[in-house]
Amino acid sequence: MQVLTSKAKYELSLETNFNKILNHLQIGTLIPILPKFREYILKTFKNYEVKAILLKKEVNDYIFNERGDNVVGICILFNDNDDILFFGYFGTYDHNPYKIDLLINGIKNYAKKRNFKKIIGPLNIPAVIFGFGFMEEGSNKQLCTGKPINPPIYQKSFFKNGFIIKYVEENYYTRVIRYNPLEFKQYDFSEFEYINITRENLHIYLDDMIKLHKENMPNYSRITPNTEKNVLVLFDYLFSYEKKFLIWIVKHKPTRRIIGCGHLAPNPFLKDKYGRLISASLEHIVIDKEFHGRRLSFFMYGETLPNVINPEKGELMKYYTNSIGLENKKAINFVKKYMNGVRDRRHLILEYNLN
């Protein structure tokens, strides 16, 4: 552990031990850290060589022994290259503005000393569980993986300290609408094949899925670090639910190219009285640019969603959410028009330029 700065009653220190970071991680998220999540957190931390800034307060030694805990704030740090420093799990126990400012200054000083050009965050890895962004006031605060919950004081403090908005993600909530896309005669999907991804066939399609993301995700949405480093953690987490319909690809039959993909991430915090999962998030819906305008979102949703309500197999996911970048107007209009989506959350990714 390295002491970064020290002020009256408070000290900032740098922690590199993943287990010690994990012990304090709950400060930086209101999403519970379930035992199921721990292995995926640790794998991701190892992949990105995560460090953490810990904010500590002086405590009375005569009250607490050596096992006492004086950590009152946390922020993780990681990077993929020499230019961008990512931060995440930013939080203090009492959301105190003074303590928030101390942590923000800690991030800035760390970045300046290591010659980073930008700071971007918050990214709470693995994002499939803990998500990213500061929640905009008025958003739905129901617990859901991938949807951080935090009070407005955080983004206000970051704005005051010179951070600007890098990316805005909106979340749209809707009931599952089941339909067979092949029954809509006005659309021709005969050239496309929908394939569910399992542990057994993932190796066949993984490189194509990564390539699809790299070549087709718009610049404004490229906010996360290197996907390849952590993609297997993402899929291992989804496979742990033992559902065969959570990950899929779309193949163009004439060329045998993989031209679309996506996944559903179940929400473990929302279940019915029988313990069945009843909601999930649609994530990473990607379509090759060459095939835009072919109604392939309509095709993918129609092939995927009937599987999530299947009483014979015990599936009853009645609700789902879409996370969409604010600038992706086509996707937003599609979800509103065809899926009756209602916006219920918004998250902001912030950026600070050190040049």
Q: In terms of CATH, what superfamily is 173-347?
A: Gcn5-related N-acetyltransferase (GNAT) (3.40.630.30)
Asked if the model's pLDDT at residue 226 lies above 70, the reply is no
Which run of H or E residues covers position 125?
none
- pLDDT of 327 reads 86
pLDDT tens column, 127-144: 999 999 999 999 999 999
If you average pLDDT over every residue of the chain, what do you get? 89
- pLDDT of 165 reads 94
Distance CA 41, CA 44 (A): 5
Q: Report the sign of the C-alpha dihedral through residues 209, 40, 37, 108, in that order.
A: negative
Mean pLDDT within 100-110: 96
* 173-347 and 2-168 share a CATH fold: yes
Confirm if 22 and 34 have CB atoms less than 8 A apart: no
Does domain 2-168 bear CATH number 1.10.3720.10?
A: no
CA 72 to each of CA 51, 92, 207: distance values in angstroms, whole numbers, following the listed order: 17, 6, 42
Asked if the model's pLDDT at residue 61 lies above 70, the reply is no
| Residue keyed to tokens 């209101």 | 30
Query: What residues have CB less than 8 Å from 338, skipping those under 6 apart?
Result: 298
Residues β-bridged to residue 266? 280
Structural domain boundaries in the chain = 2-168, 173-347
Backbone φ and ψ of 65, nearest 5°: -85, -170
**Both structure tokens of 350:** 């912030």
Q: Which of 58, 95, 60, 59 is nearest to 74 (CA)?
A: 95
CA 177 to chain centre: 25
- pLDDT of 94 reads 93
- pLDDT level of residue 322 (50, 70, 90 thresholds): confident
Q: 242: number of CA atoms within 13 Å, CB side?
A: 3
pLDDT tens column, 137-177: 999 999 999 999 999 999 999 999 999 999 999 999 999 88
